[in-house]
Amino acid sequence: MKKYKIFPLLAMFALLLSSCVNNYDSSLSSRTSSLNNNSTTNSQNSSTNSSSQTSSSNTSEGGGNIEIIEDYGLADTVQEGVILHAWNWSMANIKNALPEIASAGYTTIQTSPMQPQKDYSGQANWKSDWWKLYQPLGLSVATKNNALGTKSELKDLCAEADKYGIKIIVDVVSNHLGGGSSESFHQDIKNYEPEIYNNDLIHKGYGLVSDSNTRQLVRGHLGDYPDLMTENSIVQERVLSLLKEYVDCGVSGFRFDAAKHIETSFDGDYASNFWNYVLNGAQEYNISLGNEPLYYYGEILNTPGNGREISWYTDMMSITDNNASKNILNSVLYSASAIGNENIFSYSSLIGEKAVLWGESHDTYANDSEETTNISQQVINRAYAIAASRNDNTSLYFARPTSGATLGQISTHDFASNVITHVNKFHNQFVGSSNNIYYENNTFINVKNYDDDYGIILVNTGDSLSVNVKYDQLVDGQYIDQISGNVFTVSNNVISGTMDSSQIAVIYTPEIPLRPIINVSNDGSNLIYNPIDVEISVANADYSYYQINNGNSIEFDKSTIVKIGDGVSSGEISLKIYASNEKYQVSKEIIYHKRDKNNLTVTVSNISNDEIEDKNIFAWVWKSGDDGRWVEGNLVGNSYSFDVTTNDTHFLLASFPSSITINNVDWPLCIRQTADQQIDTSKIYDSNDLSWRDYL
């Protein structure tokens, strides 16, 4: 029996029907107040920045809400602070995670591109589909066809983040659009950018990009997608329109993808006013609204290109310094002394304040090269701690996804671990201080002494957890490492002590009391069929306990393992965790969905009356790579339920004339069918407010 192909119109957690055709194989309270030095500012429009918000009342003992504290102790600006790269996270999930993000000390959140994406197909695994976000179909903010959300959800996120003193910056793709090939547009671009599409505003005949000459660098194509004529006024106007649209959403800045492949005004025969027109236009518009100046940084990988100067970009924006980041990581991996050098920057000591550094980026983790994919998170954290200990650059923490995560999902919470939280808090507390950097005995040390506030970050690049380093900037005394709780002693300019397994020590007295942090090893996003062990850990807590299905309160200290699903055949299982200290109480609830292997049911709710009247609906169910089978379900009201097995991975629904039964189903008689859907994503699929669409 043949299965018929549809155009992928599936929105996450919703089913959109299409015609049955073709053969198918079933196998910133404040905005950012910092601007790069070249940017236009208007001091009359500047307002005092603050990283606080009006606090809500304290939660009651055992309450489910997290109190929003008055001051998270965040640095005031993007450039001074630390950025969380919430890569592939949906706008809704970022919004929900704001208390955790603020508590972890992040000044700024960077989102993935929010332009209409190529080949949108609803829910998808990040590993196979993340690149589609970097081949957008248009220069506008997506109102649909973006796996991470919509324009309205971005607005909601910006408004909520503002309450926490967090700025939102967005990754912007303006060098290229989605390709039919390296020198042709994807056909759907005409729906979003008709002028660009109809005028074929693409660089052709230049081949692949190359650093060897300006011609290929700024007019060559990066892959199987076309390079835009960024020197053309139509393209420039559309990019400026995109930035203004983002500003209207509440965005505080931008990361420009492939920035070095867009020409500057200094590029001779290949020069244009793209950057001047776009950046100045966006900044002027932003300031006219009374906002704090925008922050910009551009992706400049490896070198600016043969015969070109890095200052052509740093005079306009901050830049990625991936070579400096790589040097830091290699120093951690190979115990090299380069990290003790005050001037680690690749181009000039004058651009430290314009550099963005990281332990890893989405390119080093997710690109085919997989530079950092197989390096442990612990090693990456050490590299990040070194970068973020400095006050002469901006640091970015890349939130790794798990291999099975879908686009939009927050699959790991390492970004808010106790280790990273204290690194971030240390950075924010010592904004404005100088670096006192030294490297000895496989130990990186950065000492801060600012306004009578004293602190030290130590990072071990070897195997020993023992520290014994002599440095003349140290002040005698005994100090507490906030990560391990261990005592470090300084005597005669020698610091000694023992780190924990993170191999990072952060020695300071936090000015802002720290909220307890709760981490859970399994976030409940996947169905479970057998009992599972879940690890719970807390930090900054004096008292903690958990409950399963509102049962007895079980106290624990720092961490424990709990069994989820034991004695339950199917249904929802609630795990609630509470943690408190002398000032704050926090809680977290996770719902796990367990199913009986022998009685699995998928339900689709809120099906349109038009799709039910005078029609029969059947489910086509299959295991990925195998042929499928028809399954008859039960239609109750506007909900359709059908049984599957643990072996099944996907399904779709198809509607037929009412005369068709399960015994004579035939694909050519199909009226409409849904997009393919993974069975293990959710128990119920809600099609409310979404009509079943015809094939486009």
DSSP for 73-109 reads: ---SSTTTSEEEEETTB-HHHHHHTHHHHHHTT-SEE
Number of neighbours of residue 52 by Cβ within 10 angstroms:
17
User: Has domain 73-429 been given CATH number 3.40.800.10?
Assistant: no
63 burial type by CB count under 10 A (0-12 exposed, 13-18 middle, 19+ buried):
middle
Going across the sheet that includes 477-480, the strands are 466-470, 494-498, 487-491, 477-480
Residue 30 in this model has a pLDDT that exceeds 60: no
Contact yes or no for 132/118 (Cβ under 8 A): yes
More confident residue, 667 or 207: 207
More confident residue, 8 or 556: 556
Residue 495 in this model has a pLDDT that exceeds 60: yes
Residue 650 in this model has a pLDDT that exceeds 50: yes
Residue 681 in this model has a pLDDT that exceeds 70: no
According to DSSP, residue 347 is labeled S
Q: How confident is the model at residue 692, as a pLDDT?
A: 31
Residue 120 corresponds to which amino acid?
A: Y
Lowest mean pLDDT among 57-66, 271-280, 503-512, 669-678: 57-66
Q: How confident is the model at residue 336, as a pLDDT?
A: 73
Q: Measure the CA–CA gap between 254 and 94, rounded to whole angstroms.
A: 17
What is the β-pairing status of strands 179-181 and 453-460?
Answer: unpaired
Residue 491 in this model has a pLDDT that exceeds 90: yes
Q: How confident is the model at residue 691, as a pLDDT?
A: 32
**Topology alike, domains 3-27+597-686 and 436-507:** yes
190 burial type by CB count under 10 A (0-12 exposed, 13-18 middle, 19+ buried):
middle
Sign of CA dihedral 434, 440, 445, 449: negative
Domain ranges of the chain: 3-27+597-686, 73-429, 436-507
Q: How large is the average pLDDT for residues 461-483?
A: 93
Lowest mean pLDDT among 250-254, 528-532, 682-686: 682-686
Q: What are residue 283's phi and psi, to 5 degrees?
A: -65, -45
Tokens for 247? 């500003």
Q: How confident is the model at residue 451, as a pLDDT?
A: 87
Ranges assigned E (strand) in 252-294: 253-256
Tokens 């200990």 sit on residue: 389
Burial code of 558-592, b = ≥16 C-beta within 10 A, e = fewer? Answer: eebebebbeebebeebebbbbbbbeebbbbbebeb
Lowest mean pLDDT among 37-41, 573-577, 664-668, 692-696: 692-696
Q: How confident is the model at residue 689, as a pLDDT?
A: 35
Lowest mean pLDDT among 88-92, 183-187, 432-436: 432-436
Interval 609-621: pLDDT, tens: 777 888 899 999 9
Q: How confident is the model at residue 597, as a pLDDT?
A: 67
Please report which helix (H) or strand (E) contains residue 380, including its range: helix 377-389
Level-2 CATH architecture, domain 436-507: Sandwich (2.60)
Q: How confident is the model at residue 395, as a pLDDT?
A: 97
Q: How large is the average pLDDT for residues 308-327?
A: 95
Residue 53 in this model has a pLDDT that exceeds 60: no
Lowest mean pLDDT among 118-132, 177-191, 537-551: 118-132
Tokens for 149? 């959300």
What is the β-pairing status of strands 639-644 and 634-636?
Answer: antiparallel
Q: How large is the average pLDDT for residues 89-94?
A: 96
Lowest mean pLDDT among 107-111, 512-516, 577-581: 512-516
Task: Give the CA dihedral 487, 450, 378, 493, nearest 10 degrees.
Answer: -50
Q: Measure the CA–CA gap between 389 and 377, rounded to whole angstroms.
A: 18
Residues of the chain above pLDDT 90, percent:
64
- The domain 3-27+597-686 is placed in CATH, from the list 1.20.120, 1.10.1060, 2.60.40, 1.10.3470, at 2.60.40
Alpha-carbon Rg for the chain in angstroms: 27
Give every CB contact of residue 589 below 8 A, 6+ residues apart in sequence: 64, 574, 575, 576, 577
Number of neighbours of residue 56 by Cβ within 10 angstroms:
12
Residue 625 in this model has a pLDDT that exceeds 50: yes
Residue 390 in this model has a pLDDT that exceeds 70: yes
Output the CA–CA distances (angstroms, integers) from residue 387 to 259, 433, 473, 637, 650, in the order listed.
23, 15, 20, 58, 44
Interval 129-177: pLDDT, tens: 999 999 999 999 999 999 999 999 999 999 999 999 999 999 999 999 9
Q: Angle at Cα 153 formed by Cα 147 and Cα 155, nearest 5°?
A: 135
Ranges assigned E (strand) in 508-542: 517-520, 532-539
Average pLDDT, the chain: 85
Q: Measure the CA–CA gap between 673 and 692, rounded to whole angstroms.
A: 9
Q: How confident is the model at residue 680, as a pLDDT?
A: 58
Output the CA–CA distances (angstroms, integers) from residue 75 to 26, 166, 253, 356, 516, in the order listed.
52, 9, 16, 16, 20
More confident residue, 67 or 360: 360
Comparing CA positions, the residue from 208, 89, 187 lying closest to residue 138 is 187
Q: How confident is the model at residue 634, as a pLDDT?
A: 86
Residue 690 in this model has a pLDDT that exceeds 80: no
Residue 67 in this model has a pLDDT that exceeds 60: no
Q: How confident is the model at residue 338, as a pLDDT?
A: 64
Q: How large is the average pLDDT for residues 546-568?
A: 94
More confident residue, 347 or 444: 444
Q: How large is the average pLDDT for residues 480-490?
A: 95
Residue 568 in this model has a pLDDT that exceeds 50: yes
Q: Measure the CA–CA gap between 357 and 386, rounded to whole angstroms.
A: 10
Going across the sheet that includes 600-605, the strands are 634-636, 639-644, 600-605, 684-686
Q: How large is the average pLDDT for residues 335-358?
A: 80
Q: How confident is the model at residue 599, as a pLDDT?
A: 67
Q: How confident is the model at residue 687, as a pLDDT?
A: 52
Q: How confident is the model at residue 600, as a pLDDT?
A: 76
Cα 621 from chain centre: 33
Residue 379 in this model has a pLDDT that exceeds 90: yes
Lowest mean pLDDT among 70-74, 622-626, 649-653: 70-74
Q: How confident is the model at residue 647, as a pLDDT?
A: 79
pLDDT band, residue 31 (cuts 50/70/90) = very low
Residue 435 in this model has a pLDDT that exceeds 70: yes
Q: How confident is the model at residue 684, as a pLDDT?
A: 58
Q: How confident is the model at residue 90, as a pLDDT?
A: 96
Most confident of 422-431, 628-637, 687-696: 422-431
